[in-house]
Amino acid sequence: MKRVALYYPWIYVQSGVERTIIETVRRSRHHYTIFTNHYDRAQTYPDFADLTDLVELRRIGVRRTFLDALDAVGTICLQRLPLSDFDLLLVHSEGAGDFLTLRNHDRPVLCYCHSLQRPIYDPVYRETLLESKPHYRVPLACLEPLYRLATRAAWRHYEHVFVNSEETRRQVAAAGLCPPERMETLHPGVALERIHPSLTYAPFFLYAGRIKWTKNVELAIGAFLEFRRVHPRGADWRLIVAGDVDRHSGTYLQRLRALADGESAVEFRMKPSDADLAALYDRCSALLFPSLSEPWGMVPLEAMAYGKPVLAVGSCGPAESIRDGETGFLLEPTVPAFAAAMTSLADAPERRRRMGEQARERAARYSWDHFVTRLDEYIEQHC
């Protein structure tokens, strides 16, 4: 058994990163100690409360202003972890966590890369951000060269890099951060053993996941309202928006409610329990996944595991997990495209069921056991 120091800067929401950490620690043959600079027990998955080896380091904030981000990066760069009792360090990276390696590389260092720093390396994310915050344009342009240089220095300490998708692998390669022979795609999974679908298809569409601007939830609402307007039986259908709203996204939620304009067929369910979310997955007719540039996307996998087709923007991670026309639809990010796909499913219940069955079969390819077994094997062979 190896002793693994796992680092992720912020454990404060319910996202794919936190879920990946929990499933890894629970299923691994090795012993993990989690190190983080910000742990919010009330907001993240309650499963973390059951983990005994979680160490909170000097606290850093979660605000995304430039000054707060620089303070967080400075703290991460300077801190030293007590690695003498560990066999290796595993960094879960979305950008800032990489800088831990600058002073912590006296043990083998592995990376699990969920994404690069998206305002720097993801052009779609960047342009969407700058449309809403044009005052970021000049400071971002000034900081970008230094950030890229520091990231290259940090990545030199990674012995091996696992990436969550081919899209992330492409971005890492394009940035020149890691040679191909030290990089491996390892998709996050889904807990198939805990999902027993009833294959019920009630007349509602579901958006599930975090409710924040990066998820483009307004496209789901706009498309549903258009579907409801043009479909002869649209009045019989609903859209349920279910997920968490972090402390920075309250204004965005207000915008979404205004877009729905009091329409009772659009229902918001904030912070649903695991049981509530499972019931929504199990009963919906399809999942709407409108994110413009998702590096992977675990929510589509969860919906497919429940036997539900997924309507997603046809780029990045969803283009890898969804088979267009078989397990869902890969669409242009427009209201007409999503509304038309919703209409095609609403008019064809047998097609919904057939696509749902194929989606369930597709999801079976992505299991947490496979994910953790491969990670364990690498650790045993190389660390």
Tokens of 381: 């062979």
Inter-residue contact 182 to 160 (CB < 8 Å): yes
Q: For residue 73, give the amino acid letter.
A: V
Query: According to CATH, what is the number of the domain 192-363?
Result: 3.40.50.2000
Which tokens go with 3?
A: 């002793």
Enumerate the domain spans of the chain. 3-189+367-382, 192-363
Question: Which of 229, 257, 299, 277 lies closest to 15 in space, CA to CA?
Answer: 299
Cβ-based neighbour number of residue 239 at 10 Å: 24
pLDDT at 61: 87
CB 65 within 8 Å of CB 86: no
**Residue 15: per-residue pLDDT:** 93
- Confidence at residue 365, expressed as pLDDT on a 0 to 100 scale: 94
Q: Return the CATH architecture of domain 3-189+367-382.
A: 3-Layer(aba) Sandwich (3.40)
Q: H helices of the chain, where? A: 16-27, 66-78, 118-121, 123-132, 137-155, 166-174, 217-230, 250-260, 274-283, 298-305, 318-321, 335-346, 349-363, 368-382
Q: Encode pLDDT of 78-112 as tens digits.
A: 999 999 999 999 999 999 999 999 999 999 999 99
pLDDT in tens, 345-365: 999 999 999 999 999 999 999
- What is residue 117's three-state secondary structure? coil
Q: Which two tokens stand for residue 72?
A: 């967080």
Q: Give pLDDT < 70 ranges for the chain.
A: none
DSSP 6-51: EE-SEE-S-SHHHHHHHHHHHH-SSEEEEEESEE-TTTS-GGGGG-
Is-same-fold flag (3-189+367-382; 192-363)? yes
